[in-house]
Chains A and B, each alone.
Chain A
């Protein structure tokens, strides 16, 4: 029983970490809370649904297609919406409302295009792995593996590459980053694209076990907010910790008590956490 919950928690926690990383990346470089993050996750699910199931193509190709599709949406949002509002808006709140607008827009486009119906894709790998008396469907093991690989890939990108360094620089001090000769607009766009692509990839991965439907975005958005509150907004390790913790707690909660009670307890715990550590576990001190 406990093993089973840990196995489920691993899958949830690692894929949630992927989602939280994308959100925290966008937040760190633009100071924008991407309300459409859940919707981007949802679209990732549909990309896989169409390429893998409807068109019958290779799953890896379908999953890969999440990257250009969502990155394109991210770039469009950044270039045409957020950049202008961040430049013009007198208050930071404007960008928040804009983000809510984009979330609503994506959800409705999905609703019109795909309807209300829940979709699913056939399993990629059949079979069940038995670990210490717990059962792990092969697909879930695959999700765990892919999540770990993607997280490692992202960390390497952020900490070891030149664009990654520019992203970190931009998050820490925008003005000076101009002085380093960085094309700030281009790097900002890159950050938004990577953040969106991460949400899409998580959606594409979890499409293997969870239903794909147009309304799946908002709960993910709320969950991703919880994750970065737990870990600390705008901090990369914080996102991983926050996502992982939430996934684990969720898995144990669903196993032991009902779903809505679980979230009630999670909310209460987060409020308690923020009393003692308002900036989250790994966060920078916040005003």
Chain B
């Protein structure tokens, strides 16, 4: 298996945030985790990158166990994460933000090429190259955050609520961008979303998280038709 989480548990002091989560992902696929606030979606992503220490379970990526590695090692294996709320560097130029994404890379020429690639996806960023990150609009910041993650040339991209706080037309654009990037860059994607509609539309497989458990796991096209999902996540 390309990527696999086996029975992951995470405890925050006395609270069990994840109660045994198993996820699998095949190369080149998009999977999505949907669920309400506090269901454990963000924790799952943080567990993958090593930002959160897991209580028990194993995480495997390309035949390597990664739950024992510190974040910078996980990132160096080709996993990039776009955190919730974007978290771009507010007092750094757009260019420096993108360069931070390529922090682990030493191939100057290739970095330049990838920056051009990011500009192809998000031309707005090129216009604002010298502007400070904090002065960008919400949508632009999200583009920058995704672009910054792409600069690491990842194989696996983790996206945490990329549509949060964006206007509907922007949500659609971000959704499209994810699909295109997935196809063109041969990227695998784990997408965490509250906007289940967009997420299920672009993903191959979906997991439904509730209070730290996976309650449903199906092909996305089937999940969209699922009564439970329709009722609670797609608004009837």
Judge whether B206 is part of the interface by a CB distance below 8 angstroms.
no
Judge whether A88 is part of the interface by a CB distance below 8 angstroms.
no
Q: 9 closest Cβ contacts across the A-B interface?
A: A181-B75, A181-B104, A178-B71, A176-B87, A172-B89, A180-B103, A181-B72, A183-B72, A180-B100
**Given A162-B103, A175-B51, A180-B103 in contact, is the A168-B76 Cβ separation under 8 Å?**
no
Tell me whether A181 and B87 are in contact (CB under 8 A). no
Alpha-carbon distance between A1 and B81 when the two chains are bound, in angstroms: 61
Alpha-carbon distance between A64 and B50 when the two chains are bound, in angstroms: 40
Tell me whether B91 and A168 are in contact (CB under 8 A). yes
Alpha-carbon distance between A162 and B71 when the two chains are bound, in angstroms: 19
Which residues of B are found within 8 Å of A180, using beta-carbon distances?
A: 75, 100-101, 103-104, 148, 152
Judge whether A110 is part of the interface by a CB distance below 8 angstroms.
no
22 A-B residue pairings within 8 Å (CB atoms): A165-B99, A165-B103, A168-B91, A169-B100, A172-B89, A172-B91, A175-B83, A176-B89, A178-B49, A178-B50, A179-B49, A179-B51, A179-B80, A179-B83, A180-B75, A180-B103, A180-B104, A180-B148, A180-B152, A181-B75, A181-B76, A183-B70
Tell me whether B92 and A176 are in contact (CB under 8 A). no
CB distance from B61 to the nearest CB of A (A): 15
**Given A168-B92, A180-B75 in contact, is the A175-B103 Cβ separation under 8 Å?**
no
Judge whether B165 is part of the interface by a CB distance below 8 angstroms.
no
Q: Residues of A with Cβ closer than 8 Å to B?
A: 162, 165-166, 168-169, 172-173, 175-184, 284
Alpha-carbon distance between A173 and B76 when the two chains are bound, in angstroms: 19
CB distance from A6 to the nearest CB of B (A): 33
Alpha-carbon distance between A157 and B148 when the two chains are bound, in angstroms: 22
B interface size (C-beta, 8 A): 25
Tell me whether B92 and A182 are in contact (CB under 8 A). no
Nearest B residue to A169 via CB reads B100
Which residues of A are found within 8 Å of B91, using beta-carbon distances?
A: 168, 172, 284
Nearest B residue to A185 via CB reads B70
Alpha-carbon distance between A122 and B91 when the two chains are bound, in angstroms: 45
Judge whether B217 is part of the interface by a CB distance below 8 angstroms.
no
Which residues of B are found within 8 Å of A165, using beta-carbon distances?
A: 92, 96, 99-100, 103
CB distance from A239 to the nearest CB of B (A): 15
Tell me whether A173 and B87 are in contact (CB under 8 A). yes
CB distance from B141 to the nearest CB of A (A): 12
Judge whether B123 is part of the interface by a CB distance below 8 angstroms.
no
CB distance from A196 to the nearest CB of B (A): 24
Which residues of B are found within 8 Å of A179, using beta-carbon distances?
A: 49, 51, 71, 75, 80-81, 83
Extra pairs beyond A179-B49, A181-B75 (5, CB < 8 Å): A166-B103, A172-B92, A176-B88, A181-B104, A181-B152
Count chain A CB atoms within 10 A of each CB in B81, B83, B92 and give the residue with the most.
B92
Alpha-carbon distance between A133 and B96 when the two chains are bound, in angstroms: 47
Judge whether B90 is part of the interface by a CB distance below 8 angstroms.
yes
